[in-house]
Structure 1
Amino acid sequence: MNFPSQQPGTIQTPGFAHYSVAWSPFHTTRLAVASAANFGLVGNGRLHLVSSNPNPGGLSRLSLDKQYETQDGLYDVAWSEIHENQLVSASGDGSIKLWDVMLNDLPIRAWQEHTREVFSVNWSNVKKDTFASSSWDGTVKIWTPERPRSVTTLQAHHSCVYQALFSPHQPDILSTCSTDGTLKIFDLRSPAYVTTGPNVNTFTNPISAPALTVPASATEVLSIDWNKYRPMVLASAGVDKIVKIWDCRMVKPGGSSQVGGICETQLLGHEYAVRKVQWSPHRPDILATASYDMTSRVWTTTPAPGRPQLLHINDTHTEFVVGVSWSLYEEGVLASCGWDGRVNVFRP
């Protein structure tokens, strides 16, 4: 079902497949896009800064303001919550870089602790001097921009961690998803440390035990997001093509950690793996998804008579759609990006 909508504003960046798009929390028209050459398999990366300016006819006009070259592909980007001109990028070479958009060339800081690809970065909008990274090395690391090394390491999974997100409600709660099909929630206030022997200094070993483990899928979970209005409610999506809504207040004992989570709703319709899910910042029942079926979609979790769960399909991309992001200032405006090198801004 495809309801009428505006034609999207579009910008093309030839030679670079997009992996992530994010709206600035400070500037209403500013977007950042993380990209990689050769679909991220080999080669360099590029961080694009894009402006989305409305035209009199109602369509957004996208313009490329600036770009930064990197030695390896970029998989994710996150704007700082304390500095309007700064953002961090996640790279395939395991590095994390902090950029200032007022400077033209090099990052202002770089970290190299992950041993494999960094697949996500997320800035806490509660504890605003803190951001998290997740990697294919199975770890999640917590950072502050001023420190030369990470603050905390979580041995979150024993396989690659696709995403790690701080709760928008509680500063020390963080969720992860992984190739092992689980969604995990960690409480950074009550760590449980890895112990590998009687003489191990537990204070230098990473946190390993989650506060809650949700068996979310029999296959890989590629993306998660916290509901902005309902604490402890998350959406998950992945290879099984299903978007699932979890109430993580419901738990049962599970040894060293809790196991549980109630699946409230399942959203069906994507034809291939769902690569990204994101709740609306303006509505508690609306979320957007991006998929390898070359579409981005908008859903509601509270269907009504004459109003199905699937509200809109945007099918203007010609390759995998891997990123989607809601505008924080203009309700109902979405940006999507894909392997076709296109960024679309549209209003469903």
Structure 2
Amino acid sequence: MLPGPNFPPSVLQTPGFAHYSLAWSPFHSNRIALASSANFGLVGNGRLHIASMGPAQNPGAPPMLQCDKFFESQDGLYDVAWSEVHENHIVTASGDGSIRLWDIMLNNFAISAWQEHTREVFSLDWSNIKKDTFASSSWDGTVKIWTPDRPRSVVTLQAHHSCAYQALFSPHQPDVLATCSTDGTVKIFDLRTPSYAPTSNTFTNPMSAAVLTVPASGGEILSLDWNKYRSFTFATGSVDKMVKVWDCRMVNMNETNKVGGICELQLPGHEYAVRKVQWNPHRPDVLATASYDMTCRVWNTSSAANGPRLMHIHDPHTEFVVGCGWSLYEEGVLASCAWDGRLNVFRV
């Protein structure tokens, strides 16, 4: 149990490795995986850290974070996702375009590897509905769907013409997937629907056209997340320092089948690009964000909110904060990771 919100955070430092992403285990309430890279991910190897939270060493001290195990990779790691069916399995996304599956009870080597992306793999998402499936997105503009027991991807989506920063399954519809990109759009795909190619008046398979395209920013969109309670709502974070909340149903279609950008809510406040957004799994109106301004922030998105939207600023990091994640088991507990090699766990 983490102490109250005014208590210092629990901290784990990993010298020589900058963190890019974190993920709480869906099976163990105190276990966190970290995707990390040497030299800020520019060159060199990567490392998968498995951390856990134990009891406080001294009365009045925060619970202790410790690194239980780590695995080396030949290139930097940018993202990590826990399996939804096996408590010890985890996939990592690498700068060399590879995806690896690890068993954290074994030593040294990954148990599976896939090499289809031609550029950096920047995000991974394991479906919490169709639990034998995960998705990857890459700087090559594609999104691929995988199952761990197959040697090749199941589906390839030509999601964007430029870098696809993130791809996320809807937590409400197992075949709905959203992506965000350098082109400033969020695209939503329905994997049950063949795509229509207007140039040839034919349907294509695998799917390559989105069922909905939302021009959500004038700049690059670095992160998105589906609301866990509202099936049509998602949030975006972008290089224009803005956090936005969208409803898929609130769109204006035009002749090019794109929408006229109806945004439910805008949350200004970050001083630099927003690198990560994540909805609270316990409350529908609470959103966490991480930014290059070296802060992690928590927002109230309720339509009935009176007063400031900003609920909390977490600012002990000394480098870019690029990852944040809510505990799946303990309400109000948030983790953040940054290029300073620190993992912080604290209560909001």
- The one-letter code matched in structure 2 to 1:5 is N
Written as runs of structure 1 = structure 2, the 5 A alignment for 1:223-262 is: 223-254=223-254, 257=257, 259=259, 262=262
- The one-letter code matched in structure 1 to 2:312 is H
Q: Which residue of structure 1 lines up, in the alignment, with residue 280 of structure 2?
A: 280
Offset of residue 195 of structure 1? 9.2
Offset of residue 196 of structure 1? 9.0
Paired residue secondary structure (2:251) = strand
**Residue 213 of structure 1 contacts residue 260 of structure 1 at CA under 8 Å; is this kept in 2?**
no
Tell me whether 1:131 sits opposite 2:134 in the alignment: yes
Match of 2:109 among 93, 106, 109: 106
Number of aligned positions between the proteins: 342
Match of 2:159 among 142, 156, 159: 156
**Residue 212 of structure 1 contacts residue 260 of structure 1 at CA under 8 Å; is this kept in 2?**
no
Unaligned runs of 5+ in 1: none
- The one-letter code matched in structure 1 to 2:60 is G
Q: Which residue of structure 2 lines up, in the alignment, with residue 168 of structure 1?
A: 171
Offset of residue 5 of structure 1? 2.5
Residues 232 and 68 (structure 1), Cα distance of their counterparts in 2 relative to 1, 3 Å cut: same
Tell me whether 1:19 sits opposite 2:17 in the alignment: no
- The one-letter code matched in structure 2 to 1:321 is V
Tell me whether 1:177 sits opposite 2:180 in the alignment: yes
- The one-letter code matched in structure 1 to 2:7 is Q
Q: Which residue of structure 1 lines up, in the alignment, with residue 216 of structure 2?
A: 216
CA distance in 2, matches of 1:317, 1:24: 23
Tell me whether 1:87 sits opposite 2:90 in the alignment: yes
Residues 202 and 191 (structure 1), Cα distance of their counterparts in 2 relative to 1, 3 Å cut: closer
Percent of aligned pairs with the same residue?
A: 72
Offset of residue 258 of structure 1? 5.1
Which segment is superposed worse, 181-190 or 250-259? 250-259
Offset of residue 238 of structure 1? 1.1
Written as runs of structure 1 = structure 2, the 5 A alignment for 1:2-81 is: 5-55=6-56, 57=60, 59-81=62-84
**Residue 100 of structure 1 contacts residue 107 of structure 1 at CA under 8 Å; is this kept in 2?**
yes
- The one-letter code matched in structure 2 to 1:47 is L
Residues 105 and 255 (structure 1), Cα distance of their counterparts in 2 relative to 1, 3 Å cut: farther
Paired residue secondary structure (2:40) = helix
Deviations 1:39-85 (A, max 9, x none): 00111000000001242636221000000000000000000011111
Which segment is superposed worse, 3-12 or 291-300? 3-12
Runs of 4+ in 1 over 3 A off after TM superposition: 193-198, 200-203, 251-258
- The one-letter code matched in structure 2 to 1:230 is R
**Residue 248 of structure 1 contacts residue 261 of structure 1 at CA under 8 Å; is this kept in 2?**
no
**Residue 212 of structure 1 contacts residue 251 of structure 1 at CA under 8 Å; is this kept in 2?**
no
**Normalising by the residue count of structure 1, what TM-score does the alignment of the two structures yield?**
0.94
CA distance in 2, matches of 1:293, 1:189: 40
CA distance in 2, matches of 1:171, 1:232: 13
Q: Which residue of structure 1 lines up, in the alignment, with residue 339 of structure 2?
A: 339
- The one-letter code matched in structure 2 to 1:11 is L
Paired residue secondary structure (1:39) = helix
Which segment is superposed worse, 246-255 or 135-144? 246-255
Offset of residue 255 of structure 1? 5.3
Offset of residue 193 of structure 1? 6.3
CA distance in 1, matches of 2:256, 2:154: 24
Which segment is superposed worse, 206-215 or 150-159? 206-215
Residues 190 and 296 (structure 1), Cα distance of their counterparts in 2 relative to 1, 3 Å cut: same
Paired residue secondary structure (2:224) = strand
Offset of residue 105 of structure 1? 1.0
Tell me whether 1:189 sits opposite 2:199 in the alignment: no
Tell me whether 1:207 sits opposite 2:207 in the alignment: yes
Residues 68 and 107 (structure 1), Cα distance of their counterparts in 2 relative to 1, 3 Å cut: same
Residues 63 and 183 (structure 1), Cα distance of their counterparts in 2 relative to 1, 3 Å cut: same
Unaligned runs of 5+ in 2: none
Deviations 1:196-232 (A, max 9, x none): 989x9954xx422101111100000000000000011
Written as runs of structure 1 = structure 2, the 5 A alignment for 1:255-334 is: 257=257, 259=259, 262-302=262-302, 304-305=305-306, 307-334=307-334
